[in-house]
Amino acid sequence: MFKKLIEESTGRSPWLFHINAGSCNGCDIELVSVLTPRYDAERLGFKLAGSPRHADIVVVTGPVTKQSLPRVLRTISQVPEPRCIVTMGSCPQSGNVFRGSYSVAGPLSKYVPVDVDVAGCAPKPEAVIDGLALAAKILKEKRGRMK
Amino acid sequence: MDFPFIKEAISQLFSKSSCAMYPAVPSEAAPGYRGRIVYHPELCIACGMCERVCSGNAISRSVEHLEDGRDKITLTFNLGSCTFCATCADFCTKHAIEFTGDYHMVATKEEDLLVRGSFIKAAPKKKAPAAAKPENCSAQVQTEASGVKPREDGKPVNDQSRCVYCTLCAKKCPAEALTVDRTAKTWTLDEDKCVSCGTCAQVCPKNCIIMG
Amino acid sequence: MTVILEALRYLGYVLVFPGFLFCFLAGMLLCGIDRKLVAKMQKRVGPPILQPFYDFFKLCGKETIVPAAAERISFMLAPLLGLAALVVIQLFIPVFSFTAFYGMADIIVILYLLLIPAISIIMGGAASGSPYAGVGLSREMVTIISCELPLVLVLLAVAKTVGSAMGTGLCFSLSDIAEYQEINGSLITRISMLPAAAAMLLVIPGETGSHPFDTAEAETEICEGLLAEYSGAALGVFKLSHAVKMLTLSSLFAALFLGGLGTGILVLDALLLFLLCAGITAVSISLVHAVTARLKIEQIFKFYWTVVSLPALLSLVLAWYGL
């Protein structure tokens, strides 16, 4: 019963940690707008955590530059299991307009398994909510598979 | 130290929230929003212009040679690499690329973010048919449809049997010597302005401009 | 036999009411109500009332990482210590006419016990070996020092008012204060106590470390400060402690200023106490949270030692002259 309770709670209380891996700030603004009174992701249980140790969902924006890559990987490894990685915008998925630049190490999926891709440049807040809700569902499934 | 918003906070406590209850209440994108790409392969002529102008390298084209001598051409739009600038749609002379208001581009695997379309195109004919000659062409340099020969003065010549009137040559011409009318299907060279630089021949997606 | 029954009764006090189970349920609900109210005041819909429960159970199901640089034993012990101290405080606070543990001078005990959660969080933060926690713990210490002065002044004012009425000088027993209010009506109805009550309302957010005074756990500047390295169940216990602290301080306020409203039936009293706590939380934590931005640490210090301490001092002086 307790396990069921934990599994149910995991889907309802996903905390986000946002990593800017060289983003142009467009996606970051859209992510923050999801938490504003207009969209209020808190009503679905989402909360922006200040430390990766508290997070369940890691949202990566930006094309993953060579400077940021070791930090991104280190931050993601600090997130306790079960965790879910969401790429936001086109940049972390493919490099977008920065593809082929000398300073870009992406896409992110080369280094860590990515659970959800939210496409758009930048995605609409509604699309971000869609993506995060999907990530919360995956998180719940992952929790169900644990132990 | 003062608390200027106490009145506001208390009055909000008893009023309706300003939230857009998104997942419960569906929301439409604003007019003009550029979301998921819809590709109409039946309109496409595979000029390759979209691929050229794409800043995110999101468009790729593959050609499969069929047994009956025709080509199956497939265009793939990777939405995970797209900047949604709509330059491809602007440049598409056939309006085969359309940006819709659908913003639900969420996927768990990369395959879900690809938009594909393919069409079968007859192999290029050996001898192109004669182009329709416009009536008033007195001031225009009309090149002959078949057997276009390079001009001796080094200025460009257009093979109008292959031209799709994409206007790229006119846009790129540094001397503004070229005028292309899409609707009337005319290609006009102002010989006085032309500097014979060859930019038009370089940018032509159909390679139908020949320099002298 | 009676000894065993007595022991069972006290075990019931510690584990069920007003001990652990009541603290857990009421504290979490209070936290949920607070979050909902803040959201409402900010024109949002806000999380469901049960959100703190979801958060807590989710954290229980997460992996608990102990950093390599951390002192393992104190790192894991700190959250439990803080929670235990808060549950003990709750046992001393009377639910109107009902008191689990009677004490001659329980206000003094509570004053010391209130420090333990703060000290435990400092201990845990220091043991985690994170530089963010280092910044956080120095800020937490300043916050404690800031809050302590007005809190002591408020408690002294109440003790003096009740004590001089009972002829004992200073009355440091919460049960006696509750009894006095049963007979003479709530202390908040006295004009001399109004500044003290107002000061206490401003002490509550500082003591719980909620929004404008949460410099020690500022998530946007120092990665949640003291909690930076905590994850999983240990973090869940800290979140629970925060929720219980809200309950403890608001019920302390109710015991000090809103006594004498009880009905005599324990279940109804508990319910009434919870409703009062919710009201106090709404005013002192949610409203203050909704209308302010985070203060700097020296602003907190200045604020508590002037704006909050002065009314408390005024109350004490008025009480001293028997007004």
d(CA A16, CA A48): 5
| Buried residues in A36-55 as b, exposed as e (16+ CB within 10 A) | ebebbbbbbbbbbbbbbbbb
- Short-list C79, C146, C86, CA closest to C112: C86
**What percentage of chain C's residues is helix, strand, coil (to nearest 5)?**
75, 0, 25
Domain segments of chain A as ranges: 15-145
Residues of chain B with CATH 3.30.70.3270: 28-121
* A108 touches A93 (CB < 8 A): yes
B146 pLDDT more than 70: no
Task: Split chain C (323 residues) into runs of 10 and give each run's mean pLDDT.
Answer: 83 77 87 88 86 89 83 86 87 77 76 87 85 86 88 87 78 79 77 84 86 79 81 87 88 82 76 83 85 85 88 85 72
CA distance C94 to chain B (A): 31
Which of A9, A10, A80 has its CB closest to that of C65? Answer: A80
d(CA C150, CA C156): 10
Tell me the pLDDT band of B143, cut-offs 50, 70 and 90: very low
CA distance C132 to chain A (A): 10
Chain C CB contacts of B13 below 8 Å: 37, 40-41
**CA C317 to each of CA A97, C158, C181: distance values in angstroms, whole numbers, following the listed order:** 70, 11, 21
Q: Is A51 on the interface with C (CB under 8 A)?
A: yes
Q: Write out the H or E segment, with its range, that includes residue C277.
A: helix C266-281
- Short-list B188, B185, B211, CA closest to B198: B211
Instruction: Tell the residue number behind the tokens 């009355």, with chain if given.
Output: C171
The C residues from 239 to 268 touching A (CB cutoff 8 Å) are none
**Out of B118-127, B154-163, C193-202, which region has the weakest mean confidence (pLDDT)?**
B118-127
Q: What angle do CA C70, C75, C80 make, to 5 degrees?
A: 170
Q: Is C53 on the interface with A (CB under 8 A)?
A: yes
Q: Which of A43, A121, A132, A137 to mutate to test the interface with B (most CBs of B within 10 A)?
A: A121
Chain A CB contacts of B29 below 8 Å: 124
**CA C127 to each of CA B64, C123, C234: distance values in angstroms, whole numbers, following the listed order:** 65, 6, 13
Q: Name all chains with 3 or more CB-CB pairs below 8 Å to chain A.
A: B, C
Record: fold of A15-145:
Rossmann fold (3.40.50)
Tally Cβ neighbours within 10 Å of residue B101: 14
Question: What ipTM was assigned to the predicted interfaces of this complex?
Answer: 0.88
d(CA B193, CA A95): 42
Q: What angle do CA C79, C84, C89 make, to 5 degrees?
A: 130
Q: Is the peptide bond before A107 cis (omega within 30 degrees of 0)?
A: yes
* C229 touches C133 (CB < 8 A): yes
- What's the pLDDT score for residue B202? 76
d(CA C204, CA C313): 17
- Half-sphere CA count of C14, side-chain side, radius 13 A: 10
Q: Which amino acid is at C85?
A: A
In sequence order, what are the beta bridge partners of A88? Answer: A61, A118
CA distance B28 to chain C (A): 21
d(CA A87, CA A96): 13
In sequence order, what are the beta bridge partners of C179? Answer: none
DSSP per residue over B153-175, as a string? TS--EE-TTT-----HHHHH-TT
Tell me the pLDDT band of B135, cut-offs 50, 70 and 90: very low
d(CA C165, CA C159): 10
Contact C228 A42 (CB under 8 A): no
pLDDT: which is higher, A70 or B20: A70
Q: Percent of chain B scored above 70 by pLDDT?
A: 85
Within C93-173, residue ranges assigned H as helices are 106-113, 115-128, 131-166
B145 pLDDT more than 60: no
**Out of A16-25, A40-49, C186-195, C308-317, which region has the weakest mean confidence (pLDDT)?**
C186-195
- What's the pLDDT score for residue B180? 87
Q: Which residues contact C145 (CB under 8 A, 6 or more apart)?
A: C301
Contact C43 B12 (CB under 8 A): yes
- What's the pLDDT score for residue B147? 62
Model confidence, pTM: 0.78
Q: Which residues contact C220 (CB under 8 A, 6 or more apart)?
A: A50
- Short-list C168, C184, C206, CA closest to C300: C206
- What's the pLDDT score for residue B123? 59
pLDDT: which is higher, B191 or A55: A55
Domain B126-212 has CATH 3.40.50.720: no
What CATH number matches the domain at B28-121, 3.40.640.10, 3.30.70.3270, 3.50.50.60, 1.10.10.10? 3.30.70.3270
Integer Rg of chain A from CA: 15
- Short-list C247, C250, C176, CA closest to C32: C247
- What's the pLDDT score for residue C293? 83
d(CA C124, CA C122): 5
Chain B CB contacts of A97 below 8 Å: 55-56, 83
Tokens matching residue C34: 């607070």
Per-residue pLDDT tens over the stretch A55-94: 889 999 988 899 899 999 999 988 888 889 999 888 888 8
Beta strands in B18-156 (DSSP E): 37-39, 59-65, 71-78, 97-99, 106-107, 114-121
Which of A3, A13, A48 has its CB closest to that of C54? Answer: A13
B139 pLDDT more than 80: no
